[in-house]
Amino acid sequence: MHNFRWIFILYILANIYAMKKFIFIIISSFSISSLSCQVHSHGAQPINYPNIEGYITLKTDLHQHTVFSDGNVWPNIRVMEALRENLDAISLTEHLEYQPHITDIPHPDRNRSYELALQEAKEHDLLIIPGSEITRSVPVGHSNALFISDANKLMAKDALTPFKEAKKQNAFVFWNHPAWHAQSPTGNPILSNFQKELIKNKELNGIEVINSINYSDEALTLALENNLTIMGTSDIHGLIDWNYTEKGLHRPITLVFAKEKSIESLREALFDGRTVAVYNALLVGKPEFLNPLIQASIQVKKATYISETQILEVLLENVSSSDLLFENEMPYTFYDSSPVFEIPAGGSYTLSVKTLEKLQTLNLKLTALGAYTAPKQHPVIEWKIQLD
């Protein structure tokens, strides 16, 4: 009887242990599963945009900083971030004149950041563009010079020499954050006589309409009025994760429509103005590039009538990394949705169109509300759909 009592107690303890182990496994699995969901939802995702006819679409961020000026990371981190997000080209545009970390990281060679990034990227398919930021107060402002051969030669006491030297090195130069309130208290860019002269002499070639999280209608106006290339950049100083991906966003970028993936082809495209600036759901560019980009971003996967009705179901898939917001511009109305609808990045949406009669061809015509070809001007995009 005594032995039986101990056997019974051991049996109970073994079952309690097994139950605790089972509960632990369930809780652990739940925790790991939750963590996986968090990583999937908030971790860095590859950025993708389709090619357009005649060109490949290069995803670029051409305004970034490291500890070699006023940034907070080593150059190799910028390369790793770009690789995670599937970018095609980056430039580490360190301030020439502003070096707050110079006591801890003395570097008389202003090309050093570029060299370290180039070394990190040598085994990867990522273009590293040599560049520097000319950092002056108004009326000169801040400008990035890309494709330079020697950043050290851009150092000068006077304001004009850096731009003359940049042109001598066949650099592409663009005006950074023109609406920055620290240099323009109204929040509107001021095109100075100095900059007008640069434009006239082809020493200023582009302008940021998107810098960090800021978009400027007025900068877009200046771009269109002065035939400046439209740019979008992160101007990142900290970590891309902290500023963007943790919030479910991707960094501002410039889509460059080039003939091939090479530094020379990228340079040619920038000088030719073949760009679209993108910040998540915001797309800004000239219609000859923005319109075909949006058209290629939406693919018609299926278009069939519901049974014996005149209601046409059109399945649309968004293959880009931007949520795209549209408004109906057709003479036909929708059966089960408002005229305004969104197709999420990488997602799909089914339109039910009341065509009133069975058609052989549908001209799907939509206004892209999140896109701008000029201030307050949205492009109207069309897809010609052949029906069975």
Q: What is the pLDDT of residues 256-312, one digit of tens each?
A: 999 999 999 999 999 999 999 999 999 999 999 999 999 999 999 999 999 999 999
Per-residue tokens: 309: 């009705």
Are 276 and 310 in contact by the 8 Å Cβ rule? The answer is no
| pLDDT higher than 90, residue 20 | no
- In this structure, are 233 and 337 located in the same domain? no
Q: Which residues pair with 334 in a beta bridge?
A: 353
- The domain in which residue 218 lies consists of 56-280
Q: What is the mean pLDDT of the chain?
A: 91
Q: Give me the phi and psi of 319, to 5 degrees please.
A: -95, 10
Q: Give me the phi and psi of 104, to 5 degrees please.
A: -85, -30
pTM of the model: 0.88
Give the model's pLDDT for residue 192: 96
| pLDDT higher than 70, residue 25 | no
Q: Which of 37-41, 44-48, 192-196, 382-386 has the lowest mean pLDDT?
A: 37-41
Q: What is the pLDDT of residues 319-331, one digit of tens each?
A: 999 999 999 999 9
- In this structure, are 78 and 203 located in the same domain? yes
**Residue 232 placed within a domain:** yes
Give the model's pLDDT for residue 21: 41
DSSP state of 98: -
Average pLDDT of 382-388? Answer: 93
* DSSP-assigned letters across all residues of 181-234: TTT-TTSS----HHHHHHHHTT---EEEEEETTEE-HHHHHHHHHTTPEEEEE-
* Residue 44 binned pLDDT confidence (cut-offs 50, 70, 90): confident
Q: Which residues pair with 368 in a beta bridge?
A: 326
Q: Which residues pair with 12 in a beta bridge?
A: none
Give the model's pLDDT for residue 32: 31
- In this structure, are 65 and 115 located in the same domain? yes
CB atoms inside a 10 Å sphere around CB 46: 12
**Residue 286 placed within a domain:** no
Q: What is the pLDDT of residues 26-35, one digit of tens each?
A: 333 333 333 3
Q: In the chain, what percentage of residues exceed pLDDT 90?
A: 87
- In this structure, are 37 and 104 located in the same domain? no
**Residue 141 placed within a domain:** yes
Q: What is the largest CA-CA distance in the chain?
A: 106
- In this structure, are 177 and 107 located in the same domain? yes
* Residue 15 binned pLDDT confidence (cut-offs 50, 70, 90): low
- In this structure, are 243 and 376 located in the same domain? no
Q: What is the pLDDT of residues 138-189, one digit of tens each?
A: 999 999 999 999 999 999 999 999 999 999 999 999 999 999 999 999 999 9
- In this structure, are 18 and 71 located in the same domain? no
Average pLDDT of 217-245? Answer: 97
* The last residue of a domain, from among 280, 313, 343: 280
Average pLDDT of 48-64? Answer: 98
| pLDDT higher than 60, residue 213 | yes
- In this structure, are 113 and 171 located in the same domain? yes
- In this structure, are 226 and 313 located in the same domain? no
Q: In the chain, what percentage of residues exceed pLDDT 70?
A: 89
Domain total of the chain: 3
The CATH number of whichever domain residue 356 belongs to comes to 2.60.40
Give the model's pLDDT for residue 5: 53
DSSP state of 378: P
Give the model's pLDDT for residue 42: 58
